A = this chain, B = another copy of it.
Amino acid sequence: MSQFKPIRPSRVSDEVVKQLRDGILSGRLKAGERLPSERDLAQDFEVSRVAVREALRKLENSGFICVRHGATGGAFVQELTFDHLTMSFVDLFLAERISIEDLYQVRLLIEPEIARLAAQRITPEDAGRLLTALEEEERQSQSMEDDIQRKTTVHFILAEICRNKFFEVLVRALMEVTRRVVLAGSPDFNFIHPAGMHRPVVEAVLAGDAQGAAEAMRLHAIEFGKTLIQREKTFREKQSLSSS
C-alpha cells in the first residue's frame, strides 16, 4: 500500500456547491432566503459567472434551491422536500434496477405496520382528515390522473399519522412508482382499484384497532400488488417502445 493518496483535480463549481450547500445545511442560509445574484456570487467567490451557474444547477438538481427569473428573481433556498428522493427512486425503477416485485415485497412489510401505528397514534384531527380523504376517493372522478391522486391520499395521510418521516418518504416513493405504472397501462383505474378498497383499513384505524388495521392493509396490499406485478411487463414494453 502506497503512502500517498491519488490527487483528483477539483472543479471550481464543485467548491462553490460545497460552500453553498454547507451554508444551507448548517442553517446559516435559511429556507426562503435569497442568495446574492449570480454576478455578486461570482465576485464573492472570485470565479466566473459560468462556474456559479454550474453550481446553481447542481444545487437546483438536489432540491436545495430554486431559481426564478426576472427583476425580483434569483436563487432561493428551499426547504428540502421528499420529492427529489422520490425522483431518484423512480429513476432506479425506470433504469430497471428495482422491480415491482421488489417494491411489492417492501410494501407488504411496511404498509401494514403503518396502518398499525396509525391506529395507535391517531388523533381526532387526523380522523377528520382521514375520513374526508376516504369520502373523496369514493366520489366519481373526472380523469384517471385525478382518480389515482385521490386513492393515494389515504396512504399518505396514514403515513403522516405515524409521525415518522421515513415512513412518509417510503410511501411517497412507492406511490409514485405505482402511479406511473398504472397510468401507463390501465384504461380504467377504478376497475383495478375499485372505490371503497380502503374502507376496511380506515375503519379499523379510526376504531383504534391496530391488529385489524394491519391485517386489512395486508389484504389490500396483496390484492392490489398482484395486479401491479402483472402490469409491470406491459409497462416495460411500452417504455422501450416509446423511446425507440
Contact = CB atoms under 8 A, between A and B. Distances in A.
Interface of A (DSSP majority class): helix
A24 B239 CA distance: 12
Nearest to A31: B95
A102 B166 contact: yes
A37 B144 CA distance: 43
Given A25-B94, A26-B243, A240-B26, A166 B106 contact: yes
Contacts of A88: 62, 84-85, 88
A64 to B, nearest CB: 8
Contacts of A89: 85
Contact of A9 (B28, B69, B98): B69
A92 B82 contact: yes
Number of this chain's copies in the complex: 2
Interface stretch (A49-57, A149-157, A184-192, A219-227): A49-57
Nearest to A242: B26
Nearest to A170: B106
A109 interface: yes
Contact of A106 (B53, B95, B102, B167): B167
Which of A50, A57, A91, A170 counts the most chain B CB atoms within 10 A? A57
A88 B193 CA distance: 32
Interface of A: 9, 13, 22-28, 50, 53-54, 57-58, 60-63, 69, 80, 82, 84-85, 88-89, 91-92, 94-95, 97-99, 102-103, 105-106, 109-110, 113, 164-167, 169-170, 239-240, 242-244
